[in-house]
Each structure stands twice: as C-alpha cells, then as structure tokens.
A = this chain, B = another copy of it.
C-alpha cells in the first residue's frame, strides 16, 4: 500500500495552514487573536485559509450572535492529528537539519 501523496485533499502545504494549526494549538481562538498570532497574514487570506480548513474538517467555526460580532475557531480531532503530523515533521527536522535551519522559540 502506498500513499497517494499527489492527491492530498488537505491543504497542509498552503502558506498559512501550519501557522493556523500552531495558532489553534492552545485551544479555541477568536479571529482577531489568530491575526495577532500571525501578524503577516491579511484578513482576506486568513479567512480563506480558515474556510478551506473548515471544509476539510480541520477546524470548526463558531459564530456568536453578538454585536460587535465574535467568531471563534477551534481544531477538530482531525485538526489536532494534523498538528501532530506537523510536530512529527519538526521533530524530523531537528534530527536531520543543520542548526542554522532551526530557530529558538
């Protein structure tokens, strides 16, 4: 059995997906909180990333009927698995990359 790596339904490789996984690692976050954790992303692109991840079942989107509006995002079980994959890749990188490719957190 082989992995069909060229037909992934998940947009794990999209520019901001990994950032969102990390941003939601600590739990439920508001849209603005996410933006603050990922300063370089624009609202439009973050929205489209989140929408895609929602379609793929990686995050849930909860809209509150308040004014001003409030929307919260949270990883699904599947999203947490994807975060686990990301961690695995980072572990791999720590073992196999030169130190210049890593950054202290």
Contacts and interface: CB of A to CB of B under 8 A. Distances in A.
Interface of A: 1-6, 9, 13, 15, 18-19, 78, 81, 84-86, 88-90, 92-94, 96, 101-105
Give how many copies assemble into the complex: 2
B3 A89 contact: yes
B86 A5 contact: yes
A18 B89 CA distance: 15
Nearest to A18: B5
A101 B1 CA distance: 11
A81 B85 CA distance: 17
User: Can you list the 6 inter-chain pairs with the closest CB atoms, starting with the nearest?
Assistant: A3-B90, A2-B105, A13-B13, A4-B103, A5-B18, A81-B96
Contacts of A19: 6
A61 to B, nearest CB: 22
